[in-house]
Amino acid sequence: DPKIIQKPKYLVAVTGSEKILICEQYLGHNAMYWYRQSAKKPLEFMFSYSYQKLMDNQTASSRFQPQSSKKNHLDLQITALKPDDSATYFCASSQEAERLFFGHGTKLSVL
Amino acid sequence: GDQVEQSPSALSLHEGTGSALRCNFTTTMRAVQWFQQNSRGSLINLFYLASGTKENGRLKSTFNSKESYSTLHIRDAQLEDSGTYFCAAPMSNYNVLYFGSGTKLTVEP
């Protein structure tokens, strides 16, 4: 059973629209993260949360907003979508800053 | 990114053989992690090392924090070992894990 659930697996959006990527983890970890992987760049850190508080943000654009409604949830809202946002978005979690575990990813295509 | 350099970028092995992947850091790291991204795109955590050596089946990893490098050894390679292997390490901010560009491993019959 997957311990980090990401929904949806695949997402197609039109330019200018808004989407929310869902992530829930059942590992009991206190820290959650979002990473992005595109063909042009290696795995790229976006956000980290610890105990539902934002710890680090290395995403330049405010169009990307993480949302943590529960301790084991970290969703990612993306507004005004652009074709360059097309990528696979991985949610991850860890206990403190130790071993990192990833979800299976949401592959986003912006047309 | 540039602070985590992986080599080689691509590697081809025949089944049953082995090789080593290397990860160099431009600064002192407190720990390293190795991941395999398989054919389905899933990222699997292989190792977390703060120092020394760890072994798991046909995989072995070492981390030399003083000389700022880590290696991942694969022996008796199998077809299912194909994929991209990433090393990653936290920089000054422990919450942020930086990834290398990966080594794409192809295991051939």
Nearest CA to A68 out of A51, A56, A55 is that of A51
pLDDT at A5: 97
Whole-number pLDDT of residue A60 = 79
**CA-wise closest residue to B21 among B41, B42, B33, B6:** B6
Tell me B68's DSSP state.
Answer: T
Provide DSSP, A34-72.
EEEE-SSSS-EEEEEEETTEEEEE----TTEEEE-SSTT
- Chain B contact set for A10 (CB, 8 A): none
pLDDT in tens, A40-57: 778 999 999 999 999 989
Is the pLDDT assigned to residue B96 strictly greater than 90?
A: no
Residue B23 confidence (pLDDT) above 90: yes
Kindly report which listed range (A1-5, B44-48, B50-54) carries the lowest average pLDDT score. Answer: A1-5
Q: In this predicted model, what pLDDT tens digit does every residue of A1-35 receive, in sequence order? A: 679 999 999 999 999 999 999 999 999 999 999 99
Minimum-distance CB partner of A43 among B93, B95, B99: B99
Nearest CA in chain B to A40: B101
- Chain B closest-CA separation from residue A28 CA (Å): 17
Cα angle A94, A2, A90 (rounded to 5 degrees) comes to 55
Q: For residue B87, give the chain A residue with the closest CA.
A: A43
Q: Does the pLDDT of residue B2 top 70, yes or no?
A: no
Q: Which residue of B33, B42, B100 is in closest CB contact with A100?
A: B33
Across residues B67-71, what is the average pLDDT?
Answer: 94
